[in-house]
Structure 1
């Protein structure tokens, strides 16, 4: 199972990147950026389920990553993948942490890192 802490540890180890807090009003949101040009490749947020089109109002941790637009359409048909929250819905996707296999989450982070270079 993939958690917020798992993702943070993975990104730190794999890319030597520390998260920053891009939104003052949401200090728990964590952006991960390339060191050279500061482009985002991942964003962790806790979002109420109803804002994501899910049942309930409790907050869940999600991860936004950049994806190929053709892949995004296919992924959104699978459990744990949603249209991107707070990002371009054609080029980004939201992953519900805990609903997607950790190896798949890691692969998607790597792909997002490459796509945003």
Structure 2
């Protein structure tokens, strides 16, 4: 799943358009609940070494909220990492490409939406 496919899914499923609140990081897309404005995801480019990977290309990442009891087992899967720059007990970072299947990414996004509602 690439970034645009993900953002299209979010618009179609939740009727949410991304918010770009930072001038310095104008490509960081915050996905917020329409009513109370809480984040349910953050989509952004990240240097791969910041996820603990070997130096390589910049990767598209999505931070999502997750259930603490699932965090450890989810982090055993390819493309799932301790959350970059977020609470590592409640948030995960997912690489959008070369990681989880699209259906798993969508399921985790749906769960994050529910958890932050």
Report the TM-score when normalising by structure 2.
Answer: 0.96
- Secondary structure of the 1:11 match is helix
Q: How does 1:11-90 map to 2 (within 5 A)?
A: 11-90=10-89
Question: Any stretches of 5+ residues in structure 2 without a counterpart?
Answer: none
Superposition CA RMSD, Å: 0.8
Q: Give 1:100 shift.
A: 1.1
Q: Give the equivalent residue in structure 1 for 2:5.
A: 6
Alignment coverage as a number of residue pairs: 116
Distance 1:22 1:41 in 2: 15
Q: 1:3-62 deviations in whole A, cap 9, x for unaligned?
A: 111110000000000001122211011000001110000110100011111011421001
Moved over 2 A (4+): none
Q: Give the equivalent residue in structure 2 for 1:107.
A: 107
Alpha carbons 2:77, 2:100 under 8 Å: kept: no
Report the TM-score when normalising by structure 1.
Answer: 0.96
